[in-house]
Structure 1
Amino acid sequence: MKTILFLAANPKNTERLRLDEEIREIQESLQTSSNRALIDFRQQWATRPDDLRQALLRIKPQIVHFSGHGETGGIYLENDAGMALPVNPDALSEFFGLVTKTAPIQCVLLNACYSEAQAEAIAAHIPYVIGMNAAIGDKSAIKFAIGFYDAIGEGRTIEDAYQFGCSAIRMENLPGHLTPVLRRKRDARRVSPPTSSETSKNAAVVQPVAEAWREEEWATLLYAIRQERCLLLLGPDAAGIQQNGAFQPLNELLAQSLAEQIQPQVQAWRLNPANLTQVAQHFALEKGRDTLEMRTVEFYEEYADQPNELYRNLAALPFALSIVTTPDPLWPEALRQEQKEPGIARYHLNSNNSAIIQTGTSQSPVVFYLYGHLDEPASLILTENDLLDFLVPVITKNPALPNNLLSELRDPRKSLLFLGFGFHHWYLRILLHILLQGQSKENYSIALEQATPHPSEELRNTLLFYGGSKYKLHLYQYDLLDFSRELRQRYEIEAANKFNKTRLNSAPCVFLCHAPEDVTMAAEIAAQLETGGFRVWRDARQQRGGSLWPQILEQAIQASEYVVVMHTNAFCSCQDVYVAQEIECALARQTQFRLGVQFLIPAQFGDCPIREELEHLKSVTLPSAQDAAPLLQTLKRDQERRKKK
């Protein structure tokens, strides 16, 4: 039996939320699910701190769902008078830490604005926590909940349910599908070398230390990517497919396929059937090099048009140069699906190599195949002998790697991002030393290896090696797919914010005042005004707790250059107290402008009369919400008038 506890808080002095609709949709989703008999859904309304504590101690849920208001400082519960009570994030995190000692909570969902920081704090104690990295509208919040519980009701994992929730927002063409963020208790475990006191004769049994992936590290990596000063190096653990619900590297699948054809040798030599170089070595001895190359090409061609999600996420980012160590065509295909035009180059240890490769850009990136390419099967590095034969010419520079490729790798200003490279293998440590030629780095580089429950002794040796190196290489264990999702989401959010700031920061701001029923009309008007070069501050009461309206209303109007009051049929009969407050604030602000300057503009739709206190102002008539041209002309004329005066 899975118990879900729904907690609601909508204090009297905050905007009304559609919590009743949200809970109705969640209940309908769960009641029609295949596993409805295994789900116990509980509710707690007008939640106070005492109610929260008592409910969690008594019910012991697996999933805790909070819906209500939130600010950057935390979520809001209610006090005994029903008013807003901000909850200290550290106190709430500490509370969940106490509760989890007896309650098997698997997931906490904070369906409230700006709850990401709170989610990160709670994730110190709970396996999965979902928060919002910005304000989220009621409709988007409800759609996320529906998608999430549709998946939960069908027995899907929390991670799958989170993805279904985000997808539900996007499929409805609603804003905010990137707003929900998922945090895990063991997310982003940074593996650090043992301290000097640990590096004794017992160092081999010391477990690496797990540290949190800090916001500063995300910011630094994203900065290097945005500046196109980050080189991407993709190892064999990054090239894979989803199979039987798990991510399977293609090189392991190829090894297993080859191993099945030489079972006597696998058993006699006790080969690891997932180790490609080991299996390929014996396969070539048994069946010949040509057969090995033929089987390898046939295998990888099956997956030629199936780039995995990890690759698709990375392809959305501006990597001008990437180096891959598997011969599959999945990475270039992922780039093409992002409307990019990749150029291909390769290294061939038994043939001529170009001294210079073409220079890549974010839209025309270069992909360099370090271990050969399928188009030239003789160039492929497959067996253990191939690896040794590869290291010798790279060291002796006969044939040498392209000069500008080495220059890029050795550029002290460039950062390197290794994903699934396999640095626990000794030969890759040697290769890195050769490629960088002992050059120290000004900036840190990052290597992420697929997370494993028990780090091997090879990994511990790797930590010791890089802990004392001058390459400034930080080694982490991380789920690579999760990392790619997070990296893409953070990049797209930053890009969107930067675009909006660049486009709108210098534009005059228009505050749209409208009846609650006219949200759709206001959105249509806002879109046309933004296209016309104006910022729009829209009545955000439909946004879930992103602001406590009375507290910031005056500030918003003071920051605006215009207030447009939409007079519609719904507005004529509107008794909304906040509409009255908006007009009152705007009238007070109008007195701050000199005579002849328009600030407060009534916009009339149809035969709706102008509100009495606004009759003295010059109004504009709009034929429909789809045609805001008269309003735009009025605003632009006033802008010209202001410039002249």
Structure 2
Amino acid sequence: MRFALPRTDAENRLDADGPLVAHIDARELDALDDDDEYGRALGRGLFAGAIGTAFRTAVATSQSQGVRLRVRLVIGPSATALHGIRWETLRDPSDGTTLLTNENVLFSRYLGSLDWRPVGVRPRGDLRALAVVAAPSNLDEISAGRPLAPVPVETELERAREGMAGLRLVELPGAARPTAANLLAELRTGYDVVYLVCHGYLANDEPVLLLEDDDGRAAPMLGSELVDHLRSLTRTPRLVFLASCQSAGAGADRRSEDAGVLAALGPRLAETGVPAVLAMQGNVSMRTAGEFTKAFFEALDEDGLVDRATAVARSVVRERPDWWVPALFMRLKSGRLWYVPGTAPGGEKFDKWPSLVTDIVAGKCTPIVGPGISDALLGTRQEIARSWARSYRFPMAPHNRESLPQVAQYLSINQNRRFPRLELEAHLRRTLLERYGDELPPMPDDGARVPLEELLAQAWSVRHARGVTEPYSVLAELPTPIYVTTQPSRLLANALEDAGRAPEVELCRWREDGYWPESVFEREPGYRPSVQRPLVYHLLGLIDEPESLVLTEDDYFDFLIGVTRNQDLVPSVVRRALSDSALMFVGFRIDEWDFRVLYRSLMNAEGGRRRDDYTHVAVQIDPEEGTTIDAERARRYLESYFRNSHISLYWGSTESFVKELHDEWGSRR
């Protein structure tokens, strides 16, 4: 038993004096028909002696600090008898009260996963939801003597619309009939929340969902088929809500030692990488499922906390005989499904927009553009690293598989020095053709001979034409004479040209042995960047100049040594802008090499004192569950790290920041 309070780095071991032993007999519990007595007996067995003392200490300490207690129950896969226990019925043996209908004690079952894909916390306004309600017309023919209640399709869809009103919702039926093929096809397009209502059962410990065929009749779908499909997706749903009987196990109808829980669909989804799964651990009535669902989504709408919403919904149905059936399997440490852009974990709003816009108007703001600005167009650098690590059998630790410099370093040694640069071009070309091939102009050889920069420009035009708020276009609207970028494409220059400006593109000549194209400062010694003729300074290279790319770990070291040893490598006009203007970082993850190298080189550059005049510099922090285990502590650490640099943090994604920047700048302009 471990216990940690927020706002402290300490984690207390409640079993420091030795093992804590519970006395739980699954067979004795199964013999109890009354759920109340079951919960009391479970409480007596679990909370006897030191365990009860430790738990009550945790509850009292949390209450004294004014915080909720998040309880995560971890059961190893070999402890099969324990998985079948109805933990949700747990009662305090001292007074008989239910423990898990209290929203101050947030309970979830934790199942580990071998899935290493990051769990991104997305802005609430960007979330997509899929509601699937299957009501086969021939339920009476397949009930095998056990009548199945009809599924009220319109009632369930209306419940989904009300509960997920703030999300972009797609419905089956509606967009299509709720068949297995249509369900899998929709999941491939990417959803954050999946709400599935159907009948289900276990057959030989295999979960089966009753969907529909093209004629509306029952069409069984094996749960393993859904699990395998989700495992192959780039981004799994963040929450799957299974309003299906026995979707978390067979409950009292035991067919195996663990009541089918480990074989059922809910835990399988959790183990395959879905961060939060709400499933039914037995037969649940349509009334209980309906009331629970309504209360759950109403509570979730308040703050996005999945485990709190579960506790609230469980309390609403606690007078029902099957109130304990909904079970939450979750590996989210924060319990959070979404966040509000521009709001820090402590609730404070980003308040530097007035000063930032004022500096933009005065021409005293220098955008510093990171690689994340192209994530929506090209995918993330982490996805590229994972793809390479998988294809070329990267041998290092799993958490290093998302670091592009580390994986590229491996390829440069395992293959040759040029290989990562050529592979980057090939990967980006494949990505563009896969994502936008149907919308791009006809091209010979399936685009294999079309220059990559031309493909990038065409794909960017496709996204721009869709009417989305495009980051490059927003930056191109700003009246700034100098842009510094670590993004290796010419898209920023293209956007500036599209905005009627005439940009000059310049590279940082960080390698002494490199072949560099002619510099604008050599061609035109009197050139001075202006709003109409701005300078786009590529600090870490360009794709169409492969030798200029800073890609591997060795490249980053060489770059840092080079610019530190010879500051004249960076043009004086760029150095002056970096030391005497507000720096607006856009599209960085602060744990990435490019940001850390850039930040340290800036802090060591001349003229640092002039930066003290500007306190409104913004850095975008993408709050991913996998990289910020404790969001509040991460925020305090980052604020301390940047305090001497007068950098204000915007908590949110690049896309969210750019949208707000567009609105703030547009209203001022």
- Tell me the TM-score normalized by structure 2: 0.41
Which structure has more RCO (C-alpha within 8 Å, separation ≥ 6)? 2
- Tell me the TM-score normalized by structure 1: 0.43
Select the structure of larger CA radius of gyration: 1
